[in-house]
Structures are given as C-alpha cells and as structure tokens.
Amino acid sequence: MTKMDFQVVVLAGGTSKNLVPLVSKDLPKPLLPVANRPLLSYVLELLESSNLKDLIVVVEGQDAAVKVGTWISNTYAARLHVEVAAVPEDVGTAGALRAVAHYLTANDVLVVSGDLVCNVPLGAVAAAHRRHDAVVTSLLCAIPVPSETGSSGGKDKAKKPARYNIIGLDPTQQFLLFIATGAEVEKDIKVQKSLLQAAGEMEIRADLMDAHLYAFKRSVLQEVLDQNETFISLKQDVLPYLVWSQLRSKVASDEAAEAENWNENAASQNNQSLLSQHLATPSFHDIYASDRNGFSPAPRRTHKCCAYIADKSNYCARLNTIQAFSDINRDVIGEASHLSGYSFSVHNNVIHPSAELGLKTTVGPQCMLGEGSQLGDKCSVKRSLIGRHCRIGSNVKVANSVVMNHVTIGDGCSIQGSAVCSNVQLHERAVLKDCQVGAGFVVTAGSEHKGESLARK
C-alpha cells in the first residue's frame, strides 16, 4: 500500500471523561502509558508497518494537540509525515472528520481510532475494501476478555457487563446487513425485508467488536457528513446509516459514470468483465441492482458495506475505559508481549538496566520496571508495570497494577489492582485495592482505600 492508495486519519481523542482521573490536561489520552509507551504509539507503528506514513492525527483540544504534536515530532520526525489537527472537545468522531474534510483528496480514507491496540494487517482490510468496491469496510474483532482483577474502581463495578454490538452478516461473512451499537443493542432487531430477501439469510453475531477502524470511499463519506449535520458518531450514526440504506442508496458515488456506462452497452460489458475478475460470484448487491432476471430498464442504486473479520489469533482491543486500561497493560506484558516492542528476559519480564533492586526484592514474570526506578529491600512486584524514576521503599507489595512515572511509595505500602498516576506520593503503610489515583495526589500514611477514585480537587 502506498500513500496514494489511502489517506489515513487517526482520531486520537483528548481528555476522555471515561478515563478520568488517569487522563488530565497534563496527560491527554493519546499519551496515556501502555507498557511505558504512549498509547498512540501503537497505532502509529501499526500504520508504519503497513507502509502508511502520511497521516492526519486529529486531537481534541488545542493544548492536547500541542502536547501530542511535540511528542510525535520528537519521536517520529524521521519516520512519519504527520499533520496534527486540533478540533474542539466533544465534537464526536463524525465532527472531527468534518473538521479535516478539506485535507482529504484520495479516493479512499482509512479512519483509525487512536486508542486501538492491535496487530491486524491493515493491508488486508484495504484490499478487501477495494476488492468489493465498498463504500465502507469495518474491522470486526473478537470481544476482549476482561480480567478478573484490575483497576475498575467502585463506579465501574456497579455497572452492567460491557455490551458491544449486534451484527448481521450475509452467508459469506463479507457484507454487513445489520449493526446495532450503544443503546440500540437493547432494542428488538429490525431488518429490512428487501435486504434479507436479497442476501438469502443473515447470521447474527454478538461476539464481535467494532474496532473503530474503517475504510471509507471518500466521496460517500463526505456526502453523508455534509447532508446529515446531526450525525455525531461514525459508529452510531454514519455506519448504521450506510448499512441501512445499502439497497436503496442515496449516495452519489460515481453516479455520473454509472449512468454513462449503463447507456453504453460496450462499457457496461467491460465493467462486468472487470467485476468478474475481482469476485468469483456476484454479490447479492449486484444481483439485486440488475433485477432478478437481469433486464431492469435501469440499475437499482446500491452500495456495499463490508466487514473484515480479524483472525482470532490477532490481538485487538480499544483503550476506552479504565478497565480496558488495566486489561491492555496486562496483555501487552503478557499474552500480547510481541506488541510491546521490548525484549523480555528469561524471567519473562523487562527490567531497565538503570533500575535498582534492594535485597530480597523480587520482580516476577509479566512485569516491567522503568528507567531509573529504585525499589528498597524485601519488595514484591507481580504482574505489574512500574514507570520511570519511581522511588519505592522497603516491604512494598505491588500486584496487578500500573504505576506511572516519578511516583514515591513509602515503606510497607500495598497496591493491588490499581492505577497510580505520575507524581503521586503514597506515605508509609498506605493500602490501595482496585483504585485509581490521579496525578500528584498524596495518599496519607496508614490510610486504606478500596474501589475509590482519588484525585486532587
């Protein structure tokens, strides 16, 4: 894939309310650490590995955009060409694309969520999109399995289990016939009779996650956004609209060219020949468009909405909740350690050469200890990440947790299933279980907290 094939837009977000207190004005979502690397680095390097190096990164909020832009310049200046565009907060994914629409000129646009951590080959998604001449192709992945332990906090624990999508696929599992997201998941499924008749049957799936990675035909995307100003979300507005209207298409994708080809028999035959080279058998859209007997006086207007279902061996998750933050950090130093970019030791952990360990201190498998961090005597670290330049006293226990940078932890503290942000101080014998601690917070000596979100007021 070359830059002329697709333009790439990365929707990086900003100060996500779902991730407070882990994110803040000082630490926007794209820079949130995953295995001691900024979250956005996973998407950027996935794109780089697919030879997609000309990118537009959209960040919510001017201050966040400056921070993200500075980090990208310092890290990827010699490797990627990135334009960082700031948009107002809370414009939604559709609003963010409207704001950068004037930058888009290629025939197809790849839109990627900046919170995606995966190793799905993007070239395969793009190839499927082109092969079917689709207006949209959506990447679908297996639903991640949440951990039993982690930093979910009191509020998240009170919620119902996460619901993702209900998806209807044609018998070939290549075309989207139905999709329900958000509140629509709780409602009855309603499918157009014409769509079901054209496809023959529909497979209902509730085990797939919309990865928020889409290939769009640019002209169709821009038309839908222009004509539907109330659309806020790609996932909840634009994609369902395109799926619902695919057999009674109102989008003017290459309309003039299609009309001319229909009136010129030779050109029409040539198009059918080209189509047969791409598809072994016509899709139900092609059969429906030309009528049952193939003698319709004019073609019915249809468009194709495709699905690319990732292989189960691929890792794919979105970091859009506090629980996901815990789970993805766990996975990237565990079963998906190949995504981390680090070389793990024979003990299956990563300890920076400059880190210092006290006497009888153990750092177990699936752990990471960052540059310049120091641990006192008789500490225990299990299935956890500790960032850079942390100062940890003696007899400290850390399990199933993420500790960011420049954190000070006093003697005898216990941290379990928690996320501790940068510059936090835990005084002696403090206990955290299933908590999130915002940047700069001071946890008093001897205090115990369970399922709490602690942040400076």
* Residue 155: closest CA among 23, 13, 17: 17
The pLDDT value given to residue 1: 45
Residue 407 has pLDDT above 90, yes or no: yes
The pLDDT value given to residue 7: 95
Residue 189 has pLDDT above 90, yes or no: no
The pLDDT value given to residue 160: 45
Residue 299 has pLDDT above 70, yes or no: no
If DSSP codes are grouped into helix, strand and coil, which group holds residue 273?
A: helix
> E strand or H helix at 98, and its extent?
helix 92-99
Residue 178 has pLDDT above 60, yes or no: yes
pLDDT confidence bin for 263, thresholds 50/70/90: very low
Residue 257 has pLDDT above 50, yes or no: no
Tokens representing residue 174 in the block: 């290549």
Lowest-pLDDT range of 54-68, 72-86, 236-250, 404-418: 236-250
Cα–Cα distance, 260 to 371 (Å, whole number): 64
Tokens representing residue 67 in the block: 């921070």
SS (H, E, C) 60-92: ECHHHHHHHHHHHHHHHCCCCEEEEEEECCCCH
Cα dist from 77 to 49, 81, 287, 399, whole Å: 16, 7, 49, 37
If DSSP codes are grouped into helix, strand and coil, which group holds residue 57?
A: strand
The pLDDT value given to residue 252: 59
Using alpha carbons only, what angle is made at residue 246 by residues 282 and 205, rounded to the nearest 5 degrees? 85
pTM: 0.88
Cα–Cα distance, 299 to 306 (Å, whole number): 21
Cα–Cα distance, 147 to 70 (Å, whole number): 34
Lowest-pLDDT range of 80-84, 264-268, 405-409: 264-268
Task: Check: CB of residue 12 under 8 Å from CB of residue 29.
Answer: yes
- The residues near 125 (Cβ < 8 Å, ≥ 6 apart) are 110, 137, 139, 213, 215, 308
The pLDDT value given to residue 193: 81
The DSSP output letter for 99 is H
Residue 222 has pLDDT above 80, yes or no: yes
Mean pLDDT comparison of 282-286, 301-305, 411-415, highest-scoring range: 411-415
pLDDT in tens, 340-360: 999 999 999 999 999 999 999
pLDDT in tens, 270-279: 444 444 444 4
The pLDDT value given to residue 158: 40
pLDDT confidence bin for 284, thresholds 50/70/90: confident
pLDDT in tens, 148-158: 655 554 444 44
Residue 385 has pLDDT above 90, yes or no: yes
Tokens representing residue 295 in the block: 């003698």
Residue 378 has pLDDT above 60, yes or no: yes
* Residue 305: closest CA among 194, 191, 169: 169
Cα–Cα distance, 254 to 223 (Å, whole number): 12
pLDDT confidence bin for 182, thresholds 50/70/90: low
If DSSP codes are grouped into helix, strand and coil, which group holds residue 361?
A: coil
SS (H, E, C) 124-191: HHHHHHHHCCCCEEEEEEECCCCCCCCCCHHHHHCCCCCCCEEEEECCCCCEEEEEEEHHHHHCCCCC
The pLDDT value given to residue 163: 57
Lowest-pLDDT range of 140-149, 167-176, 232-241, 407-416: 140-149
